[in-house]
Structure 1
Protein backbone atom coordinates (compact mmCIF):
# COMPACT_ATOMS: atom_id res chain seq x y z
CA UNK A 1 0.00 0.00 0.00
CA UNK A 2 1.50 3.32 -1.02
CA UNK A 3 0.65 6.02 1.52
CA UNK A 4 2.43 9.32 2.06
CA UNK A 5 2.57 11.17 5.36
CA UNK A 6 -0.37 13.46 6.21
CA UNK A 7 0.00 17.16 5.53
CA UNK A 8 1.65 19.25 8.21
CA UNK A 9 -0.70 20.91 10.69
CA UNK A 10 1.22 24.21 10.38
CA UNK A 11 -0.50 26.64 8.04
CA UNK A 12 -3.74 26.11 6.10
CA UNK A 13 -4.50 22.54 5.07
CA UNK A 14 -4.27 21.87 1.33
CA UNK A 15 -7.47 21.21 -0.55
CA UNK A 16 -8.73 17.66 -0.12
CA UNK A 17 -9.14 15.19 -2.95
CA UNK A 18 -11.47 12.30 -2.14
CA UNK A 19 -11.20 9.02 -4.07
CA UNK A 20 -14.17 6.64 -3.75
CA UNK A 21 -14.13 2.93 -4.53
CA UNK A 22 -17.36 0.98 -4.33
CA UNK A 23 -16.90 -2.57 -3.05
CA UNK A 24 -16.76 -5.55 -5.42
CA UNK A 25 -19.76 -7.47 -6.66
CA UNK A 26 -21.70 -9.66 -4.22
CA UNK A 27 -24.51 -12.05 -5.08
CA UNK A 28 -26.98 -9.56 -3.61
CA UNK A 29 -25.58 -6.58 -5.50
CA UNK A 30 -25.70 -8.64 -8.71
CA UNK A 31 -29.38 -9.35 -8.09
CA UNK A 32 -30.20 -5.78 -7.04
CA UNK A 33 -30.99 -6.69 -3.42
CA UNK A 34 -30.64 -3.83 -0.96
CA UNK A 35 -27.71 -4.71 1.29
CA UNK A 36 -26.88 -2.68 4.37
CA UNK A 37 -25.90 -4.58 7.52
CA UNK A 38 -26.08 -8.09 6.01
CA UNK A 39 -22.53 -9.29 5.33
CA UNK A 40 -22.64 -10.93 1.90
CA UNK A 41 -19.24 -12.10 0.56
CA UNK A 42 -17.77 -10.95 -2.72
CA UNK A 43 -18.36 -13.19 -5.71
CA UNK A 44 -15.34 -14.57 -7.60
CA UNK A 45 -15.89 -11.80 -10.14
CA UNK A 46 -16.02 -9.26 -7.30
CA UNK A 47 -12.72 -10.49 -5.89
CA UNK A 48 -11.04 -10.36 -9.31
CA UNK A 49 -12.33 -6.82 -9.87
CA UNK A 50 -11.04 -5.75 -6.43
CA UNK A 51 -7.55 -6.93 -7.37
CA UNK A 52 -7.82 -5.11 -10.70
CA UNK A 53 -8.85 -1.83 -9.05
CA UNK A 54 -5.82 -2.19 -6.80
CA UNK A 55 -3.62 -2.27 -9.90
CA UNK A 56 -5.27 0.94 -11.08
CA UNK A 57 -4.64 2.63 -7.71
CA UNK A 58 -1.05 1.42 -7.36
CA UNK A 59 0.58 4.52 -8.83
CA UNK A 60 -1.33 6.97 -6.60
CA UNK A 61 -0.20 8.00 -3.11
CA UNK A 62 -2.83 8.60 -0.40
CA UNK A 63 -2.56 10.54 2.86
CA UNK A 64 -5.34 8.51 4.45
CA UNK A 65 -7.26 5.34 3.56
CA UNK A 66 -10.69 4.77 5.10
CA UNK A 67 -13.10 1.85 4.84
CA UNK A 68 -16.63 0.91 5.80
CA UNK A 69 -16.78 -1.76 8.52
CA UNK A 70 -18.80 -4.11 6.30
CA UNK A 71 -16.90 -7.22 5.23
CA UNK A 72 -17.52 -6.66 1.50
CA UNK A 73 -15.83 -3.25 1.69
CA UNK A 74 -12.96 -4.45 3.90
CA UNK A 75 -12.36 -7.43 1.63
CA UNK A 76 -12.27 -5.15 -1.40
CA UNK A 77 -9.76 -2.88 0.34
CA UNK A 78 -7.57 -5.83 1.29
CA UNK A 79 -7.57 -7.38 -2.18
CA UNK A 80 -6.79 -3.96 -3.66
CA UNK A 81 -3.69 -3.75 -1.46
CA UNK A 82 -5.07 -1.52 1.29
CA UNK A 83 -5.59 -4.04 4.09
CA UNK A 84 -4.47 -1.45 6.64
CA UNK A 85 -7.33 0.91 5.85
CA UNK A 86 -8.90 2.58 8.88
CA UNK A 87 -12.42 1.30 9.53
CA UNK A 88 -14.96 4.14 9.93
CA UNK A 89 -18.49 3.38 11.11
CA UNK A 90 -19.85 6.48 9.38
CA UNK A 91 -19.10 4.95 5.96
CA UNK A 92 -21.57 2.08 6.31
CA UNK A 93 -24.21 1.62 3.63
CA UNK A 94 -27.63 3.25 3.97
CA UNK A 95 -29.68 1.32 6.55
CA UNK A 96 -32.67 0.00 4.59
CA UNK A 97 -34.54 -1.25 7.66
CA UNK A 98 -37.42 -3.55 6.69
CA UNK A 99 -36.32 -3.41 3.06
CA UNK A 100 -33.00 -5.18 3.70
CA UNK A 101 -32.53 -7.94 1.11
CA UNK A 102 -35.41 -6.81 -1.11
CA UNK A 103 -35.15 -5.56 -4.67
CA UNK A 104 -36.72 -2.30 -5.80
CA UNK A 105 -39.51 -4.13 -7.76
CA UNK A 106 -40.33 -6.16 -4.62
CA UNK A 107 -40.55 -2.98 -2.51
CA UNK A 108 -42.72 -1.33 -5.15
CA UNK A 109 -45.27 -4.10 -4.80
CA UNK A 110 -45.92 -2.52 -1.37
CA UNK A 111 -45.06 1.12 -2.15
CA UNK A 112 -45.53 2.13 -5.81
CA UNK A 113 -42.78 4.37 -7.24
CA UNK A 114 -40.57 3.80 -4.19
CA UNK A 115 -36.90 4.81 -4.29
CA UNK A 116 -34.45 5.13 -1.42
CA UNK A 117 -33.99 8.77 -2.43
CA UNK A 118 -37.64 9.78 -2.26
CA UNK A 119 -39.35 7.47 0.26
CA UNK A 120 -38.66 6.30 3.82
CA UNK A 121 -37.15 2.97 4.79
CA UNK A 122 -39.26 1.76 7.74
CA UNK A 123 -36.97 0.93 10.62
CA UNK A 124 -33.97 2.28 8.71
CA UNK A 125 -32.34 5.60 7.89
CA UNK A 126 -33.67 8.69 6.16
CA UNK A 127 -31.67 10.69 3.64
CA UNK A 128 -31.03 13.29 6.34
CA UNK A 129 -29.71 10.60 8.70
CA UNK A 130 -27.26 9.41 6.07
CA UNK A 131 -26.20 12.96 5.25
CA UNK A 132 -25.46 13.82 8.87
CA UNK A 133 -23.07 10.91 9.41
CA UNK A 134 -21.33 11.43 6.07
CA UNK A 135 -20.85 15.12 6.89
CA UNK A 136 -18.79 14.04 9.91
CA UNK A 137 -16.55 11.95 7.64
CA UNK A 138 -16.14 14.86 5.23
CA UNK A 139 -15.34 17.30 8.05
CA UNK A 140 -12.48 15.07 9.14
CA UNK A 141 -11.05 14.64 5.65
CA UNK A 142 -11.24 18.36 4.93
CA UNK A 143 -9.45 19.14 8.18
CA UNK A 144 -6.64 16.80 7.14
CA UNK A 145 -6.36 17.91 3.53
CA UNK A 146 -4.47 15.87 0.99
CA UNK A 147 -5.66 12.82 -0.92
CA UNK A 148 -8.03 10.42 0.85
CA UNK A 149 -9.14 7.00 -0.42
CA UNK A 150 -12.49 5.58 0.72
CA UNK A 151 -13.76 2.02 0.24
CA UNK A 152 -17.53 2.10 0.60
CA UNK A 153 -20.91 1.28 -0.86
CA UNK A 154 -23.31 2.24 -3.63
CA UNK A 155 -25.97 4.48 -2.11
CA UNK A 156 -23.76 5.87 0.66
CA UNK A 157 -21.01 6.82 -1.81
CA UNK A 158 -23.51 8.55 -4.08
CA UNK A 159 -24.78 10.42 -1.02
CA UNK A 160 -21.20 11.30 -0.09
CA UNK A 161 -20.71 12.79 -3.54
CA UNK A 162 -23.75 15.01 -3.04
CA UNK A 163 -22.62 16.19 0.39
CA UNK A 164 -19.13 16.92 -0.99
CA UNK A 165 -20.81 19.31 -3.43
CA UNK A 166 -22.92 20.86 -0.66
CA UNK A 167 -26.10 19.42 -2.17
CA UNK A 168 -28.93 17.35 -0.71
CA UNK A 169 -28.37 13.61 -0.40
CA UNK A 170 -31.45 12.99 -2.56
CA UNK A 171 -29.53 14.30 -5.59
CA UNK A 172 -27.61 11.03 -5.51
CA UNK A 173 -30.44 9.56 -7.58
CA UNK A 174 -28.75 11.18 -10.59
CA UNK A 175 -25.43 9.39 -10.07
CA UNK A 176 -24.92 5.81 -11.27
CA UNK A 177 -22.24 3.88 -9.38
CA UNK A 178 -21.12 0.38 -10.36
CA UNK A 179 -19.12 -2.08 -8.21
CA UNK A 180 -15.32 -1.62 -8.07
CA UNK A 181 -15.34 1.69 -9.89
CA UNK A 182 -13.21 4.72 -9.00
CA UNK A 183 -14.70 8.17 -8.51
CA UNK A 184 -12.73 11.30 -7.63
CA UNK A 185 -14.09 14.36 -5.84
CA UNK A 186 -11.89 17.42 -6.05
CA UNK A 187 -12.06 21.16 -6.64
CA UNK A 188 -12.37 23.62 -9.50
CA UNK A 189 -11.30 27.18 -8.66
CA UNK A 190 -11.54 26.40 -4.92
CA UNK A 191 -15.08 25.06 -5.30
CA UNK A 192 -15.97 21.38 -4.65
CA UNK A 193 -16.35 19.54 -7.94
CA UNK A 194 -16.63 16.05 -9.41
CA UNK A 195 -13.35 15.27 -11.17
CA UNK A 196 -14.23 11.72 -12.23
CA UNK A 197 -17.23 9.45 -11.65
CA UNK A 198 -17.94 5.72 -12.02
CA UNK A 199 -14.67 5.14 -13.85
Structure 2
Protein backbone atom coordinates (compact mmCIF):
# COMPACT_ATOMS: atom_id res chain seq x y z
CA UNK A 1 0.00 0.00 0.00
CA UNK A 2 1.32 3.43 -0.86
CA UNK A 3 1.14 6.40 1.44
CA UNK A 4 2.55 9.87 0.80
CA UNK A 5 6.08 9.00 -0.28
CA UNK A 6 6.38 5.69 1.60
CA UNK A 7 5.76 2.06 0.70
CA UNK A 8 4.07 0.07 3.46
CA UNK A 9 2.52 -3.37 3.75
CA UNK A 10 -0.32 -3.99 1.32
CA UNK A 11 -2.57 -5.43 4.00
CA UNK A 12 -2.20 -2.56 6.46
CA UNK A 13 -5.40 -1.06 7.90
CA UNK A 14 -6.78 1.80 5.79
CA UNK A 15 -6.90 5.24 7.36
CA UNK A 16 -10.07 6.17 5.45
CA UNK A 17 -12.83 3.98 4.00
CA UNK A 18 -13.36 3.50 0.31
CA UNK A 19 -16.16 5.63 -1.08
CA UNK A 20 -19.26 3.43 -1.49
CA UNK A 21 -17.76 0.29 0.12
CA UNK A 22 -19.90 -2.80 0.48
CA UNK A 23 -18.33 -5.32 2.85
CA UNK A 24 -16.87 -8.24 0.97
CA UNK A 25 -17.81 -6.82 -2.44
CA UNK A 26 -15.40 -7.02 -5.37
CA UNK A 27 -16.73 -3.61 -6.43
CA UNK A 28 -14.78 -1.83 -3.70
CA UNK A 29 -12.11 -0.96 -6.26
CA UNK A 30 -11.51 2.74 -6.89
CA UNK A 31 -9.25 4.40 -9.41
CA UNK A 32 -8.11 7.91 -8.47
CA UNK A 33 -6.86 9.93 -11.44
CA UNK A 34 -4.65 13.02 -11.48
CA UNK A 35 -3.79 14.94 -14.64
CA UNK A 36 -0.31 16.47 -14.60
CA UNK A 37 0.30 20.16 -13.88
CA UNK A 38 0.46 22.91 -16.48
CA UNK A 39 3.18 22.98 -19.16
CA UNK A 40 3.87 25.66 -21.75
CA UNK A 41 2.06 23.61 -24.38
CA UNK A 42 -0.96 22.69 -22.24
CA UNK A 43 -1.36 26.42 -21.59
CA UNK A 44 -1.13 27.29 -25.30
CA UNK A 45 -3.31 24.38 -26.46
CA UNK A 46 -0.55 22.62 -28.40
CA UNK A 47 -0.96 18.86 -28.61
CA UNK A 48 1.67 17.24 -26.38
CA UNK A 49 2.38 13.53 -26.37
CA UNK A 50 5.97 12.39 -26.85
CA UNK A 51 7.48 15.87 -26.34
CA UNK A 52 8.78 15.69 -22.77
CA UNK A 53 8.08 19.16 -21.41
CA UNK A 54 8.60 20.28 -17.79
CA UNK A 55 5.95 21.91 -15.65
CA UNK A 56 5.70 25.70 -15.60
CA UNK A 57 6.18 27.55 -12.32
CA UNK A 58 2.40 27.92 -12.13
CA UNK A 59 2.02 24.22 -12.88
CA UNK A 60 4.32 23.36 -9.99
CA UNK A 61 2.39 25.63 -7.63
CA UNK A 62 -1.04 24.25 -8.50
CA UNK A 63 0.10 20.62 -8.56
CA UNK A 64 1.61 21.04 -5.11
CA UNK A 65 -1.76 22.28 -3.84
CA UNK A 66 -3.21 18.80 -4.52
CA UNK A 67 -1.05 17.23 -1.79
CA UNK A 68 -3.29 18.16 1.18
CA UNK A 69 -6.28 16.61 -0.57
CA UNK A 70 -4.57 13.21 -0.47
CA UNK A 71 -3.10 13.52 3.02
CA UNK A 72 -3.92 10.48 5.14
CA UNK A 73 -5.29 8.47 2.20
CA UNK A 74 -3.64 5.13 1.50
CA UNK A 75 -3.33 3.54 -1.93
CA UNK A 76 -2.73 -0.10 -2.80
CA UNK A 77 -1.04 0.82 -6.08
CA UNK A 78 0.29 4.09 -7.54
CA UNK A 79 1.22 4.37 -11.22
CA UNK A 80 2.50 7.19 -13.40
CA UNK A 81 3.15 7.91 -17.04
CA UNK A 82 6.90 7.99 -17.79
CA UNK A 83 6.75 11.60 -19.04
CA UNK A 84 8.43 14.08 -16.71
CA UNK A 85 5.33 16.27 -16.42
CA UNK A 86 3.43 13.34 -14.89
CA UNK A 87 6.32 12.03 -12.77
CA UNK A 88 7.06 15.52 -11.39
CA UNK A 89 3.39 15.96 -10.50
CA UNK A 90 3.48 12.63 -8.65
CA UNK A 91 6.52 13.82 -6.71
CA UNK A 92 4.90 17.15 -5.82
CA UNK A 93 1.79 15.40 -4.55
CA UNK A 94 3.91 13.08 -2.41
CA UNK A 95 4.30 9.91 -4.48
CA UNK A 96 7.88 9.98 -5.73
CA UNK A 97 7.91 6.16 -5.63
CA UNK A 98 5.03 5.78 -8.12
CA UNK A 99 5.67 2.92 -10.54
CA UNK A 100 6.12 3.92 -14.19
CA UNK A 101 3.55 2.41 -16.55
CA UNK A 102 4.11 2.96 -20.28
CA UNK A 103 0.41 2.37 -20.94
CA UNK A 104 -0.39 5.71 -19.26
CA UNK A 105 1.38 7.86 -21.88
CA UNK A 106 -0.62 10.48 -23.73
CA UNK A 107 -2.40 9.72 -27.02
CA UNK A 108 0.26 9.79 -29.74
CA UNK A 109 -0.71 12.66 -32.07
CA UNK A 110 1.81 11.82 -34.78
CA UNK A 111 2.08 14.68 -37.27
CA UNK A 112 -0.12 16.85 -35.06
CA UNK A 113 2.37 16.93 -32.20
CA UNK A 114 3.03 20.50 -31.11
CA UNK A 115 0.21 22.16 -33.04
CA UNK A 116 -3.21 23.36 -31.92
CA UNK A 117 -6.69 22.24 -32.93
CA UNK A 118 -7.40 25.52 -34.83
CA UNK A 119 -4.20 24.97 -36.82
CA UNK A 120 -5.18 21.39 -37.65
CA UNK A 121 -8.66 22.53 -38.70
CA UNK A 122 -7.16 24.81 -41.30
CA UNK A 123 -6.34 21.57 -43.13
CA UNK A 124 -8.99 19.20 -41.72
CA UNK A 125 -12.28 21.00 -40.93
CA UNK A 126 -13.99 19.94 -37.68
CA UNK A 127 -11.05 17.75 -36.66
CA UNK A 128 -10.97 16.32 -33.15
CA UNK A 129 -8.79 13.56 -31.75
CA UNK A 130 -12.00 11.70 -30.85
CA UNK A 131 -13.49 11.61 -34.34
CA UNK A 132 -10.60 11.87 -36.82
CA UNK A 133 -7.30 10.06 -37.34
CA UNK A 134 -3.94 11.55 -36.32
CA UNK A 135 -1.57 10.74 -39.22
CA UNK A 136 1.47 8.88 -37.99
CA UNK A 137 -0.02 8.62 -34.48
CA UNK A 138 -2.24 6.22 -32.58
CA UNK A 139 -5.69 5.07 -33.55
CA UNK A 140 -8.55 5.07 -31.06
CA UNK A 141 -8.34 1.25 -30.96
CA UNK A 142 -4.65 1.33 -30.08
CA UNK A 143 -5.38 3.77 -27.26
CA UNK A 144 -8.25 1.58 -26.05
CA UNK A 145 -6.07 -1.53 -26.05
CA UNK A 146 -3.41 -0.07 -23.76
CA UNK A 147 -5.84 1.68 -21.43
CA UNK A 148 -7.81 -1.56 -21.11
CA UNK A 149 -4.58 -3.03 -19.73
CA UNK A 150 -4.53 -0.29 -17.09
CA UNK A 151 -8.15 -0.98 -16.16
CA UNK A 152 -7.43 -4.70 -15.93
CA UNK A 153 -4.36 -4.11 -13.76
CA UNK A 154 -6.32 -1.87 -11.38
CA UNK A 155 -9.26 -4.26 -11.07
CA UNK A 156 -6.93 -7.21 -10.53
CA UNK A 157 -5.08 -5.35 -7.78
CA UNK A 158 -8.31 -4.20 -6.17
CA UNK A 159 -8.56 -1.64 -3.40
CA UNK A 160 -7.75 2.01 -4.02
CA UNK A 161 -5.36 2.85 -6.87
CA UNK A 162 -3.92 6.19 -8.02
CA UNK A 163 -2.59 7.13 -11.46
CA UNK A 164 -0.86 10.23 -12.84
CA UNK A 165 -1.29 10.90 -16.52
CA UNK A 166 -2.43 13.12 -19.36
CA UNK A 167 -5.56 14.85 -20.61
CA UNK A 168 -6.76 12.84 -23.59
CA UNK A 169 -5.46 9.49 -22.32
CA UNK A 170 -7.15 9.91 -18.93
CA UNK A 171 -10.41 10.95 -20.57
CA UNK A 172 -10.16 7.81 -22.69
CA UNK A 173 -9.36 5.80 -19.55
CA UNK A 174 -12.57 7.06 -17.95
CA UNK A 175 -14.55 5.98 -21.00
CA UNK A 176 -13.03 2.50 -20.92
CA UNK A 177 -13.67 2.25 -17.16
CA UNK A 178 -17.40 2.66 -17.77
CA UNK A 179 -17.22 0.26 -20.73
CA UNK A 180 -17.70 2.89 -23.42
CA UNK A 181 -15.74 3.53 -26.63
CA UNK A 182 -12.70 5.79 -26.37
CA UNK A 183 -14.60 8.41 -28.37
CA UNK A 184 -16.92 8.98 -25.40
CA UNK A 185 -13.99 10.62 -23.63
CA UNK A 186 -14.96 13.78 -25.52
CA UNK A 187 -17.63 14.36 -22.87
CA UNK A 188 -15.15 14.42 -19.97
CA UNK A 189 -13.33 17.75 -19.96
CA UNK A 190 -10.20 17.44 -17.83
CA UNK A 191 -8.05 20.35 -16.67
CA UNK A 192 -4.45 20.21 -15.49
CA UNK A 193 -3.77 19.52 -11.80
CA UNK A 194 -7.19 18.02 -11.17
CA UNK A 195 -8.37 14.99 -9.21
CA UNK A 196 -11.01 12.53 -10.42
CA UNK A 197 -12.29 9.26 -8.98
CA UNK A 198 -13.65 6.23 -10.82
CA UNK A 199 -15.44 3.49 -8.95
CA UNK A 200 -18.69 1.55 -8.73
CA UNK A 201 -22.36 2.00 -7.92
CA UNK A 202 -23.15 -1.55 -6.82
CA UNK A 203 -21.95 -3.61 -9.82
CA UNK A 204 -21.92 -0.73 -12.31
CA UNK A 205 -18.63 1.08 -13.03
CA UNK A 206 -19.19 4.84 -12.69
CA UNK A 207 -17.51 8.23 -12.38
CA UNK A 208 -17.66 9.16 -8.70
CA UNK A 209 -15.91 12.52 -9.05
CA UNK A 210 -14.57 14.36 -12.07
CA UNK A 211 -12.26 17.30 -12.83
CA UNK A 212 -12.26 18.48 -9.22
2:97 to 72, 76, 84: 84
Normalised by the size of structure 2, how large is the TM-score?
0.89
Q: Structure 1 196/3 Cα, relative in aligned 2: closer, same or farther at 3 Å?
A: farther
2:82 to 57, 64, 69: 69
Residue 38 of structure 2 corresponds to residue 6 of structure 1: no
Deviation at residue 190 of structure 1 after TM alignment: 1.6
1:36 to 34, 44, 49: 49
What is the alpha-carbon root mean square deviation over aligned residues?
Answer: 1.6
Partner of 1:170 in structure 2? 183
2:148 to 113, 135, 143: 135
Unaligned runs of 5+ in 1: none
Quick one: distance in 2 between partners of 1:51 and 1:102? 28
Residue 163 of structure 2 corresponds to residue 150 of structure 1: yes
Structure 1 runs (4+) greater than 2 angstroms displaced: 2-8, 11-15
Partner of 1:57 in structure 2? 70
Contact 1:50–1:76 (CA under 8 A) maintained in structure 2: yes
Quick one: distance in 2 between partners of 1:4 and 1:167? 35
Deviation at residue 5 of structure 1 after TM alignment: 3.7
